[in-house]
Amino acid sequence: MSKNATVITYGCQMNVNESAKIRTIMEDLGYNITEKIEESDMVFLNTCTVREGAATKIYGKLGELKKARDARGTKIIITGCFAQEQGKKLLQKFPCIDIIMGNQNISKIPEALEKIEKVQEVIKAGKLRDKKLKHVVLTGYDDELPPRIDADFNNDITASMTIGYGCNNFCTYCIVPYVRGREKYIPMEELINQAKEYVKKGYKEIMLLAQNVNSYGKGLSEGETFANLLQGIADIEGDFLIRFISPHPRDFTDDVIDVIARNPKIARSVHVPLQSGSTKILNDMNRGYTKEQYLELVDKLKSRIPDVALSTDIIVGFPGETEENFKDTLDVVKKAKYDTAFMFMYSIRTGTKAGEMEEQIEEEVKKDRLQRLISLQTEMSNEVSKEYYGKIERVLVEGASRKNKDMLSSRTSSNKVVLFKGDPSLKGQFVNIKINQCKTWTLYGEVVD
Ligand code: 5AD
Ligand code: SF4
């Protein structure tokens, strides 16, 4: 009888990509992939730990999985950043977990499954003396690149490609460098060949992933730079778009801006994580740029790539943030005119520098600032949206809209969602749409030739 496996994903695009790899490994082992936990023999929980709140969600889900395990013996495997961070500690709270596995160990899934099966045979036979053996914990990592796993993606339009692992920046609020280790990058030729494969298979969008994409090339040979990588992929024949996340504003060199400007295949949407608009706070965050340098970068991006849309990440309530400092953030938000922003209240991550700082900000103040920031950004997003009225946009069709089944959902090169009426066979194609209605987060339009 065939076996089923489920992969549940929390967190960023990197986790989405790693979940695709886990699915591929499980399929190669002969498992069917299902979303139904109640039919699953093996459930992977691919976790995130970047902000508080992630843990609460994971604990809730683990409670649910424990019931499945008690009822049917479903195995529980926890992977991802939270697994890496917590390691064995998780077993104290949840002895029901069978395998704990860090980010760099997913290629060892077959080995881990074999081990756990052997252990459980021993348990069944009543021969287990060493209680610790009941679980498998694999959270080690080294300086080598993890083995390459070519994933078949669920979505047949976008292929995501990890170009590098880890982060060397140590922004003082961030746990990522502790759980994902130091930066290492995949050689350019390998990446360009992989991208060629994806284009040949018919993918219409290539998403490049790394914690800090524009540090690409550290440790590789001269000439293996992010700008050259982008150009190399843009040179592949075919009609497709290239996206990338996340760049670091400090490392956004002119050669990268020029390559984007020259190549319409590179999406007109750039993520420029601000984090704070105050030079004092940016310094305390160890971000490596000032408010003025950031705004210069924004100006440069907008003037050299006239149709570019910007998005950002912002944290409010970092330790020591005064009302004055927060106003600097609001000021940048007004000036930069982002299409979208991901906005967060600062949360302490154990082991980081900011976690130790005195002057932590009260919850109420953080909440208030977040609300004010969200309402300003909503106004800005609304303004940006209105600028699309009457324009003709080339969009990539993703399929039926989830909310409105009669409509197709698509995205512009600038990453705006556009809904329109059209034949479902347009899925995966580029079409021209005339925009005739602009809501804050969604545009509407009709097909034009
Ligand atoms: N508290 C709040 N937000 C955080 N981020 C990272 N660490 C923290 C933290 N401790 C946010 C940053 C980052 C995004 C992925 O998550 O804005 O860019
Ligand atoms: Fe975290 Fe900063 Fe690295 Fe991004 S660049 S992963 S925010 S340490």
Question: Where is the domain boundary, 334, 368, 386?
Answer: 386
Number of domains in the chain: 4
Instruction: Give the residue carrying structure tokens 């992929």.
Output: 233
Question: Where is the domain boundary, 361, 386, 411?
Answer: 386
Task: Tell me, yes or no, whether 315 and 380 share the same domain.
Answer: yes
Instruction: Say if CB 157 and CB 332 are below 8 A apart.
Output: no
Compute the mean pLDDT over every residue in the chain, rounded to the nearest whole number: 93
Give the ligand 1 atom nearest the CA of 349: 10
Residue 148: inside a domain, yes or no?
no
| CATH number of the structural domain spanning residue 396 | 2.40.50.140
Task: Tell me, yes or no, whether 99 and 82 share the same domain.
Answer: yes
Please choose from 85, 211, 315 the residue to mutate so as to test ligand 2's pocket, defined by most ligand atoms within 8 A of CB.
211
| Ligand 1 center from residue 50 Cα (angstroms) | 6
Q: Is the pLDDT of residue 313 over 90?
A: yes
CB count, 10 Å around CB of 222?
6
Q: Is the pLDDT of residue 123 over 70?
A: no
205 beta partners: 158, 241
Task: Tell me, yes or no, whether 123 and 21 share the same domain.
Answer: yes
What is the spatial distance between Cα 331 and Cα 355, in angstroms, rounded to a whole number?
26
Instruction: Say if CB 407 and CB 400 are below 8 A apart.
Output: yes
Task: Tell me, yes or no, whether 218 and 315 share the same domain.
Answer: no
What is 361-407 written as a DSSP string?
A: PPHHHHHHHHHHHHHHHHHHHHHHHHTTTT-EEEEEEEEE-SS-TTS
Task: Tell me, yes or no, whether 134 and 59 share the same domain.
Answer: yes
Q: What is the pLDDT of residues 390-410, one digit of tens each?
A: 999 999 999 999 888 889 999
Residue 381 confidence (pLDDT): 97
Residue 143 confidence (pLDDT): 67
Q: Is the pLDDT of residue 205 over 90?
A: yes
Task: Tell me, yes or no, whether 8 and 132 share the same domain.
Answer: yes
Residue 251: inside a domain, yes or no?
yes
Task: Tell me, yes or no, whether 219 and 320 share the same domain.
Answer: no
Task: Tell me, yes or no, whether 307 and 405 share the same domain.
Answer: no
User: Mean pLDDT over residues 291-299, rounded?
Assistant: 98
Residue 258: inside a domain, yes or no?
yes
Residue 373: inside a domain, yes or no?
yes
| Ligand 2 center from residue 428 Cα (angstroms) | 33
Residue 143: inside a domain, yes or no?
no
Residues 279/280/285/288 CA torsion (nearest 10 deg): 40
| CATH number of the structural domain spanning residue 253 | 3.30.750.210
Residue 45: inside a domain, yes or no?
yes
Q: Is the pLDDT of residue 121 over 80?
A: no
Q: Is the pLDDT of residue 382 over 80?
A: yes
Measure the CA angle with vertex 256, ends 251 and 258; round to 5°: 140
Q: Which protein residue's CA is at the shortest distance from atom 12 of ligand 1?
A: 313
Name the pTM for this structure. Answer: 0.93
288 lines ligand 2 (CB under 6 A): no
User: Mean pLDDT over residues 110-120, rounded?
Assistant: 84
Q: What is the pLDDT of residues 228-246, one digit of tens each?
A: 999 999 999 999 999 999 9
Q: What is the pLDDT of residues 31-82, one digit of tens each?
A: 999 999 999 999 999 999 999 888 888 999 999 999 989 888 899 999 999 9
Q: Which domain covers residue 129, as residue numbers?
A: 3-138
Task: Tell me, yes or no, whether 291 and 203 share the same domain.
Answer: no
Task: Tell me, yes or no, whether 374 and 404 share the same domain.
Answer: no
User: Mean pLDDT over residues 3-27, rounded?
Assistant: 94
What is the spatial distance between Cα 12 and Cα 104, in angstroms, rounded to a whole number?
16
Instruction: Quote the strand ranges of 163-284, DSSP E.
Output: 164-165, 184-185, 205-209, 241-245, 269-271
Q: How confident is the model at residue 128 (pLDDT cuts 50, 70, 90)?
A: low
Q: Is the pLDDT of residue 125 over 90?
A: no
Residue 132 confidence (pLDDT): 53
Please choose from 167, 179, 251 the residue to mutate so as to test ligand 2's pocket, defined by most ligand atoms within 8 A of CB.
167
Residue 105 confidence (pLDDT): 86
Question: Where is the domain boundary, 103, 138, 173?
Answer: 138
Percent of the chain with pLDDT over 70: 96
Please choose from 12, 85, 212 the residue to mutate so as to test ligand 2's pocket, defined by most ligand atoms within 8 A of CB.
212
Measured from the alpha carbon of residue 344, the closest ligand is: 1
Task: Tell me, yes or no, whether 374 and 408 share the same domain.
Answer: no
Write out residues with Cβ below 6 Å of ligand 1: 50-51, 173-174, 273, 275, 313, 315, 344, 346-347, 349
| Ligand 2 center from residue 172 Cα (angstroms) | 9
| Ligand 1 center from residue 41 Cα (angstroms) | 34
Question: What's 264's DSSP letter?
Answer: T
Task: Tell me, yes or no, whether 282 and 236 share the same domain.
Answer: no
Give the ligand 1 atom nearest the CA of 345: 2
Residue 1 confidence (pLDDT): 67
Residue 350 confidence (pLDDT): 92
Q: Is the pLDDT of residue 129 over 70?
A: no
Residue 149: inside a domain, yes or no?
no
Q: Is the pLDDT of residue 133 over 70?
A: no
Residue 150: inside a domain, yes or no?
no
Residue 426 confidence (pLDDT): 95
CB count, 10 Å around CB of 132?
9
Instruction: Give the residue carrying structure tokens 């940006």.
Output: 384
